[in-house]
Amino acid sequence: MENALFLLSKTLWLALQPDNLLVLLLLAGVVGLWLGRRYARVLLTLIAVPAALLLALPVGDLLLQPLETRFPRAPLPEQVAGIMVLGGSEDAELSVRWGQPQFNMAAERLMLLPALMQRYPDARVVVTGGSASVLHPEHRGADVARAWLESLPLDTGKVIFERDARNTWENAHESAQRLGGVPSEPWLLVTSAYHMPRSVGIFRELGWQVIPYPVDYYDTDGRYRPQFAVNLRDFVTGTREWTGLLIYHLLGRTDALFPAPEA
């Protein structure tokens, strides 16, 4: 069941994510023009106007801002039982290709871990990240994280590198299994700010008490940026995360549609 859901989610999102869908519709319009179809001009016009707005304006900020501000970063507590770092910042395929750890724009998820380990020397640590790739599942994010952390003057002997999780639900589920069950004491949860609401909802659904520690912010508070690629990236990221919130809640994997800080 889990494998089927994973493959279905990857296939549907590949076809429906905004940037891919835009290209498919443009191709349909071009083919229609060559075939002399009347719908082609109308289709291309309907695509061009919203596409220009999405590329030229920070529309993605409208989607990302409520996600990134849902869990404001609070002062760190005096003690935590553990530190949970969600994968997704590692580029496992490039790391294998070039023989050194490679990261993407979410690198802050892992970059802040050494400082947190020094602050909480007695805390347990889990870095969870397998492969979300259908074509190359052998490349695991946790392996990249291990290679980078072991290159630093840190004691990584106590770090659990969970390398089987393929999505956020499996991050929480597989980590709990590696720990012998859901911990009874609060853990610090480190992930991208836009990803925090869904992540908190998943851990709460499992009965795991977490303290959100958001990193990796995208929202510019609506500031105009004439950067087409960046605006499209932010729109795709926001669309994916809101879709994930809806689907995960419908599947019963989060405790709320839009998880919020506890009162």
Considering the four listed CATH numbers 3.40.50.620, 3.40.1210.10, 3.40.50.150, 3.40.50.10490, the one that applies to the domain covering 78-217 is 3.40.50.620
Q: Full-prediction pTM beyond 0.75?
A: yes
DSSP structural state of residue 124: E
Amino acid letter for position 69? T
**What pLDDT is stored for residue 1 in this prediction?**
66
DSSP structural state of residue 73: P
Mean pLDDT value of segment 186-202: 98
**What pLDDT is stored for residue 228 in this prediction?**
82
Q: What is the pLDDT of residues 215-229, one digit of tens each?
A: 999 988 767 777 788
Amino acid letter for position 68? E
Q: What is the pLDDT of residues 43-66, one digit of tens each?
A: 888 888 888 887 788 888 999 999
Using a pLDDT cut of 90, give the percent of the chain over it.
67
Model confidence band, residue 261 (pLDDT cutoffs 50, 70, 90):
very high
Which stretches within the chain are classed as H helix?
Answer: 2-16, 18-34, 39-56, 59-68, 92-98, 108-111, 113-119, 141-150, 168-178, 196-205, 228-250
Instruction: Evaluate if residue 186 carries a pLDDT over 70.
Output: yes
Q: Find out whether 48 and 218 touch, Cβ atoms under 8 Å.
A: no
Q: What is the pLDDT of residues 167-185, one digit of tens each?
A: 999 999 999 999 999 999 9
Find the range with the poorest average confidence among 2-11, 81-90, 123-132: 2-11
The three-state secondary structure class of 85 is strand
Domain edges within the chain: 2-56, 78-217
Q: What is the pLDDT of residues 108-122, one digit of tens each?
A: 999 999 999 999 999
Amino acid letter for position 46? L
Of the candidates 189, 179, 184, 196, the residue with the CA atom closest to the CA atom of residue 210: 189
Instruction: Evaluate if residue 263 carries a pLDDT over 60.
Output: no
Mean pLDDT value of segment 132-143: 85
Q: What is the pLDDT of residues 91-104, one digit of tens each?
A: 999 999 999 999 99
